[in-house]
Homo-oligomer: A and B are copies of this chain.
Amino acid sequence: MIARPYGDTLDDGAVQFSFTLPVPEGPLGREAARQLVEKWGFEQVDVVHSHSLSEGFSFYVAYGRATTGIDLAGIQVEEATGPSVYTMDEANEIVRTRLGRKVVVVGACTGFDAHTVGIDAIMNMKGYNHHYGLERYPEFEAYNLGAQVPNEKLIDFAVKVQADAILISQVVTQKDVHIQNLTQFIEMLQARGLREQFLVLVGGSRIGNKLAVELGFDGGFGKGTFAEHVATFIVDRLLEREA
C-alpha cells in the first residue's frame, strides 16, 4: 500500500510546513517560500502566513499537497526489539534457567553529556514510569557510572567487571557531537580488540536503532524505552551468542 499524507480526504497529500528564510519579509520572500515548497515536489502550495523575524529574516507557514507517497511494503522497520518484550520476571527466569549466570551491565552518560535521567530510567532501582530499572533485576548486575564519563574510563571499567553489555546514553546532539563521541567509542573498542567482547547499546531521545547500527553498535533505543526492552535485547543476543 502506498501511504500518502492525509488532511481530510484519502490521498489528498496535505502537509504543513514552517521555516525561516534569510530574506526580508515581503512579496519576494513569500513568493520564494511558495516556489521553494513547490520545488520540494508539492502542489497547491499556499503560504498561509509570513512575518518578519528581523531585518534580514522572515518566517513562513505553508501548506502543500504531496505528490509522492511511500510504499509501506518496502519499509524495513529496524527497531532493536520487536513488538513483544519480556517482563522483568520473564527476563530473569530466562537468564536463570538458560544462561545460568548473572548478566553484567555497565552504563554511563559519556563525553560531556550530563543528562543522566535517561540512563537512570533504564538502570536505577526505581526505574521510570512504573517500569523498574535493571538494578532491580535479580539476575542482572548493573553498574551506572553516571554523567560525563570519558569513553576510555567506561571501557576500562567494563573490562574490569567483565561486562556483558555496555549501555551509553547520549542526549546532546547539537552539531552531531553525539556522533563524534559514539564513533570514538567504537574506534577505541576496536583499537583495543574488544569490540566483540561486549554488546554495545546506545540510547537517547534523538537516537534510533538505525543510526546506532550504522555507527557500529548492536542496538539503539529512543524515546519510550524501558528496562524491559533493554533486558529483552541483551538476553536474546546473549542466548544467540552462547548457542
Contact = CB atoms under 8 A, between A and B. Distances in A.
B15 A17 contact: yes
Given A6-B57, A35-B75, A77-B31, A40 B23 contact: no
B206 A35 contact: no
Interface in A7-39: 7, 10, 14-23, 27-28, 31-32, 35-36, 39
| Copies of this protein chain in the complex | 2
A28 B75 contact: yes
A14 B5 contact: no
A219 to B, nearest CB: 14
Given A35-B70, A46-B206, 5 more contacts: A5-B21, A5-B36, A16-B17, A36-B66, A40-B40
Nearest to A13: B19
Given A39-B70, A68-B39, A16 B15 contact: no
Interface residues of A, number: 39
Contact of A22 (B3, B16, B31): B3
Nearest to A81: B27
Contacts of A15: 17-19
Contact of A41 (B14, B35, B40, B79): B40
A185 to B, nearest CB: 21
Contact of A21 (B6, B32, B57, B77): B6
